């Protein structure tokens, strides 16, 4: 049987005592109360000891009682004066008694037979009796009771009752009655047997210190075992916001797949990069393929170098050298300079292509984007997109579908993928992809396509670029088990603390 140091010590002491008051056991073991109680309870649960508890009546000494114990009960003080002087007047007694004590004193002295009382010149005179003289050196039961109370502070009522009725102690305000639980610990047969078999009493430690190792003392100690099943208080250490964790994991996955991350310093973009560089005509309803916000102040940003702007302009107006006829309108640089909160992460792909890319190369961005909408459980005006593209000489539409499928499986954990024809001004062909989730059913996953030459050529890219954009929030909702998209950004502490960190 596994016993702790404290349990062993308690049991060994108990073996000698057989049955002991809890307080005595505490004294014997030299441990503190809590430790002994814990040990006793464990011993009890192991059938080695028994804890008996009973309510007992006790009498506790009062402040007045303490005072009397020191200076003597009023009648004793009066008796002393009486014996010294033979007879005294009531007034004389004031020397040794207070007003309160004076009042009942004649009654008490008479009852005890210590004094006789008569009137002399209208004054009460007390004269000591023989019994009174003898009484000076004798202890009455009440004196004994007071002494006992003064010594112990509290005494079991049963013990005092053998001397005086408790009523009397109470009426004289020497003691007050109370009840108290008395605990007794008893060793069982099994406990005795165990001690007789011999218990090795090794000191128990819970921390292995450098000192223990250096001194070699670790050999002589017992290491405390931890109960890892014991319930403990929950702690909530600082941790990343659950949605952040989810996005970080997607980032990690893409990096593992060989993608290079594109980042932006600002959430604000020029229309040039959000629209124009993506071959979206300024005067065409296609520009409204999504509603966007505009910045009031500052209203305008700056355009990239002129050469690039000229090419984009040419592409829009007449197709430049791409063989396309373009959109056939007059391109306005002022409009391209308007500032807006970025409306899609594809703007970062355009920027990256303009800066130059590795060929073959793979790029991605995780970007907060903004579009006007009515807020509800499934719509936010800001959300996150994961966009990316792959550049290589020999890429075809089939590659695009293959890569998208892999994403759906790797990132979304989808089982089936479905492609539908779609339209974006910057891709041709364009597809919309849905992924099948066991619980969610078919979920629209994102758009994709091959960037149009009218877009890539002005940016200086002459090879095929396949691109995609994925709305990540709905996926996160599903993964995090929430049905209100606003929770992704919630500061509800309970949710933040308890949300599982998922991938
Ligand atoms: N930017 C598009 C998605 C997309 C990205 C890249 C290519 C094609 C489509 C959207 O926000 O819906």
* CA atoms of 65 and 164, how far apart (whole Å): 15
Which residues neighbour 1 within 8 Å (Cβ) at sequence distance 6 or greater? 46, 48, 194
pLDDT at 404: 84
Q: What is the pLDDT of residues 192-202, one digit of tens each?
A: 999 898 887 77
H helices of 280-337, where?
306-318, 333-337
Q: Are the C-beta atoms of 273 and 246 separated by less than 8 Å?
A: no
The residue whose CA has the least distance to atom 11 of ligand 1 is 344
Tokens describing residue 83? 């014996």
Indicate if the pLDDT at residue 437 is higher than 80: no
- Secondary structure (3-state) at 365: strand
Q: Are the C-beta atoms of 207 and 226 separated by less than 8 Å?
A: no
260-261 and 361-370 beta bridge pairing: parallel
Which residues neighbour 51 within 8 Å (Cβ) at sequence distance 6 or greater? 22, 40, 41, 44, 183, 184, 185, 186
Which of 424, 444, 471 most suits a substitution to test ligand 1, by most atoms within 8 Å of the C-beta? 424
Residue 330 CB coordination number (10 Å):
9
% of the chain surpassing 90 pLDDT:
61
Q: Are the C-beta atoms of 445 and 408 separated by less than 8 Å?
A: yes
* CA atoms of 219 and 216, how far apart (whole Å): 6
* CA atoms of 45 and 79, how far apart (whole Å): 59
Which of 279, 344, 365 most suits a substitution to test ligand 1, by most atoms within 8 Å of the C-beta? 344
H helices of 98-241, where?
99-102, 105-112, 130-135, 141-152, 157-161, 166-171, 189-197, 210-215
Number of H helices, E strands in the chain: 23, 18
CA 267 to chain centre: 35
Q: Spell out which residues line ligand 1, taking CB within 6 angstroms.
A: 344, 346, 387, 424, 427, 446-449, 467-469
Q: Are the C-beta atoms of 193 and 211 separated by less than 8 Å?
A: no
CA 392 to chain centre: 51
CA of 486 to the centre of ligand 1 (A): 23
- Secondary structure (3-state) at 395: coil
Q: What is the pLDDT of residues 191-249, one digit of tens each?
A: 999 989 888 777 778 889 999 999 999 988 888 777 777 777 888 888 888 889 989 99
Indicate if the pLDDT at residue 348 is higher than 60: yes
Q: What is the mean pLDDT of residues 53-62?
A: 92
Indicate if the pLDDT at residue 447 is higher than 70: yes
Indicate if the pLDDT at residue 371 is higher than 70: yes
pLDDT at 372: 87
């Amino acid at each position: 049987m596994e016993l702790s140091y404290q349990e062993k010590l308690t049991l060994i002491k108990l073996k000698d005592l057989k049955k002991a008051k809890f307080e005595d056991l505490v004294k014997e073991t030299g441990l503190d109360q809590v430790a002994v109680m814990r040990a006793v309870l464990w011993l009890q649960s192991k059938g080695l000891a028994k804890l008996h508890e009973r309510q007992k009546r006790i009498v506790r000494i009062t402040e007045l009682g303490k005072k009397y114990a020191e200076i003597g009960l009023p009648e004793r003080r009066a008796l002393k004066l009486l014996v010294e002087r033979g007879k005294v007047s009531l007034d004389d007694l004031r020397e040794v008694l207070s007003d309160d004590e004076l009042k009942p004193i004649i009654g008490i002295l008479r009852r005890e037979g210590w004094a006789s009382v008569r009137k002399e010149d209208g004054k009460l005179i007390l004269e000591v009796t023989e019994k009174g003289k003898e009484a000076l050196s004798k202890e009455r039961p009440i004196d004994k009771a007071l002494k006992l109370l003064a010594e112990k502070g509290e005494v079991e009522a049963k013990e005092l009752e053998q001397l005086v009725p408790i009523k009397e102690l109470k009426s004289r305000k020497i003691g007050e009655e109370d009840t108290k639980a008395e605990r007794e610990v008893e060793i069982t047969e099994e406990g005795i047997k165990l001690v007789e078999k011999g218990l090795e009493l090794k000191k128990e430690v819970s921390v292995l210190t450098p000192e223990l190792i250096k001194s070699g003392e670790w050999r002589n100690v017992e290491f405390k075992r931890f109960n890892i099943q014991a319930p403990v208080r929950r702690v909530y250490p600082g941790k990343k916001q659950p949605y952040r964790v989810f996005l970080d994991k997607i980032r990690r996955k893409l990096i593992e797949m060989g993608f290079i991350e594109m980042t932006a310093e600002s959430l604000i973009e020029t229309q040039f990069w959000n629209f124009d560089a993506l071959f979206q005509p300024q005067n065409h309803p296609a520009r409204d393929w999504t509603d966007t916000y505009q910045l009031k102040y500052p209203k305008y940003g700056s355009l990239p170098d002129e050469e690039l702007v000229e090419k984009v302009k040419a592409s829009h107006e007449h197709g430049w050298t791409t063989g396309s006829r373009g959109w056939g309108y007059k391109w306005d640089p002022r409009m391209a300079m308007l500032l807006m909160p970025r409306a899609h992460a594809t703007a970062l792909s355009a920027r990256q292509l303009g800066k130059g890319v590795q060929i073959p190369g793979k790029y991605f961005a995780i970007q907060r984007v903004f579009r006007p909408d009515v807020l509800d459980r499934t719509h936010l005006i800001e959300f996150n997109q994961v966009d990316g593209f792959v550049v290589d000489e020999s890429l075809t539409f089939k590659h695009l579908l293959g890569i998208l499928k892999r994403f759906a499986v790797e990132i979304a954990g989808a089982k089936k993928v479905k492609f539908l024809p779609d339209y974006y001004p910057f891709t041709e062909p364009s597809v919309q992809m849905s992924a099948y989730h066991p619980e969610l059913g078919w979920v629209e996953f994102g758009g994709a396509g091959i960037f149009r030459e009218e877009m890539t050529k002005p940016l200086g890219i002459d090879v095929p670029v396949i691109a995609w954009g994925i709305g990540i929030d709905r996926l996160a909702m599903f993964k995090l088990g929430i049905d209100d998209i606003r929770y992704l950004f919630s500061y509800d502490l309970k949710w933040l603390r308890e949300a599982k960190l998922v991938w």
